[in-house]
């Protein structure tokens, strides 16, 4: 079993299975599971026949199968998904020699996530390897992974303080980012040439070093203020998010005044990766001096 670097895709015996993280567990695309176990050219038809011959499965279908947004090449799509328990139930209705290997594969995928929860350093190590494979500079990777940890600490704090809905998370995050950078997330993406319609394009994966640093400052400040004020609920935490972002925004403006340069940059991952690939044929030290110090 191989795990694709973006974590939205896993591979079983050379065949791809899409997945999404929902309610603290992995959910796998039903059609992909059926395809790898049956080699059926029409997974949807196979699923219909499976429901017809397995009446108990059909009766409990809505409890087993959930429609969830899944990252695909063309953006997010709503797809039928099952968790590990649901996948095991489906396997019972699929006569296949691949069933046992697939069960072991599912257990391994689930175990990897448990390992990451119990040992955050393991998750960080995997994240570092992910960005390394994509061609990011080492210094950038260290900042990005640190930013992930700070972000996780903030979202954990929000959960404890009564912020639970995904929509509320998005609003609070945008409050911090707008106050930090002077532009909302949607505009920030546009500056970098990203399409805001594609939610799977993570803005932070396209940030420069300085943008990552100020993003961390805004979120770390928000966490500290929330604890100090004992903010409760969405409304209070929204006020705190603005304050946290304003602290980072103030620091950003001071730096811009001293350097005469804007922190918000049009540089994105594609440009950064392109530069990294070129340094093998040019002066590596020159690249670091002229490029990395400006990120």
Q: Are 81 and 20 in contact (CB under 8 A)?
A: yes
Residue 16: pLDDT band with limits 50, 70, 90: confident
pLDDT score of 241: 98
> CA–CA separation, 113 vs 151, rounded Å?
18
> CB of 214 within 8 A of CB of 246?
no
Count of Cβ atoms closer than 10 Å to residue 44 Cβ: 11
DSSP 18: E
What's the whole-number mean pLDDT along residues 76-96? 84
Nearest to 158 by CA among 230, 245, 235, 237: 237
Strands, sheet with 2-3, edge to edge from the N-terminal-most edge strand: 2-3, 9-12, 15-22, 25-29, 75-82, 66-72
Beta carbons within 10 angstroms of residue 85's beta carbon = 11
Q: Check pLDDT > 80 for residue 162.
A: yes
Domain spans of the chain?
A: 2-118, 120-294
Average pLDDT for 46-51? 88
Cα dihedral across residues 46, 49, 53, 54: positive or negative: positive
- CA 167 – CA 46 distance, rounded (Å): 36
How confident is the model over 239-256, as a mean pLDDT?
98
Contact 239, 212 (CB under 8 A): no
- Give the three-state DSSP class for 261: coil
pTM of the model: 0.58
pLDDT higher than 60, residue 6: no
| Size (the chain), residues | 295
Cβ neighbours of residue 98 closer than 8 Å, sequence gap 6 or more: 13, 36, 37
> How is the chain split among helix, strand and coil, in percent rounded to 5?
65, 10, 25
Amino acid 288: pLDDT = 34
Which has more pLDDT, 64 or 278? 64
Cβ-contact 192, 181 below 8 angstroms: no
For residue 230, give every residue at least 6 positions away whose Cβ sits within 8 Å of its Cβ, in sequence order, or none.
none
Q: Which CATH class is domain 2-118?
A: alpha beta
Report pLDDT for 5. 34
Q: CA-based Rg of the chain, rounded to a whole angstrom?
A: 22
For residue 240, pLDDT over 80 is answered with yes
Q: CB atoms < 10 A from the CB of 105, how many?
A: 19
- Cβ proximity of 268 and 193 under 8 Å: yes
pLDDT in tens, 100-141: 777 777 667 666 665 665 666 777 787 888 788 778 889 999
Euclidean distance between CA atoms 146 and 150, whole angstroms: 6
Is 28 within 8 Å of 110 (Cβ atoms)? no
């Amino acid at each position: 079993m191989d795990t694709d670097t973006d974590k939205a895709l896993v591979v079983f015996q050379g065949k791809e299975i899409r997945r999404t993280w929902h309610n603290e567990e992995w959910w796998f695309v039903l059609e992909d599971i059926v395809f790898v176990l049956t080699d059926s050219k029409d997974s949807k038809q196979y699923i219909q026949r499976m429901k017809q011959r397995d009446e108990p499965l059909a009766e409990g279908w809505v409890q087993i199968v959930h429609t969830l947004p899944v990252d695909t090449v063309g953006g997010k799509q709503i797809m039928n998904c099952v968790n590990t328990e649901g996948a095991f139930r489906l396997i019972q209705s699929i006569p296949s020699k691949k069933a046992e290997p697939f069960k072991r594969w599912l257990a391994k995928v689930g175990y990897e996530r448990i390992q990451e929860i119990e040992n955050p350093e393991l998750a960080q190590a995997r994240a570092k390897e992910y960005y390394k494979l994509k061609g990011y500079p080492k210094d950038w990777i260290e900042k990005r992974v640190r930013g992930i940890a700070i972000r996780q600490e903030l979202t954990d704090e929000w959960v404890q303080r009564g912020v639970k809905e995904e929509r509320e998370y998005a609003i609070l995050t945008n409050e911090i980012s707008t106050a930090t950078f002077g532009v909302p997330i949607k505009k920030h993406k546009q500056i970098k040439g990203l399409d805001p319609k594609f939610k799977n394009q993570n803005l932070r994966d396209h940030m420069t070093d300085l943008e990552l640093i100020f993003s961390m400052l805004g979120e770390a400040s928000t966490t500290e203020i929330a604890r100090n004020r004992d903010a409760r609920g969405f409304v209070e935490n929204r006020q705190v998010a603005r304050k946290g972002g304003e602290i980072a925004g103030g620091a950003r403006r001071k730096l811009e005044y001293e350097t005469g340069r804007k922190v918000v940059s049009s540089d994105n991952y594609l440009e950064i990766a392109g530069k990294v690939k070129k340094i093998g044929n040019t002066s590596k030290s020159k690249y670091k001096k002229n490029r990395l110090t400006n990120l």
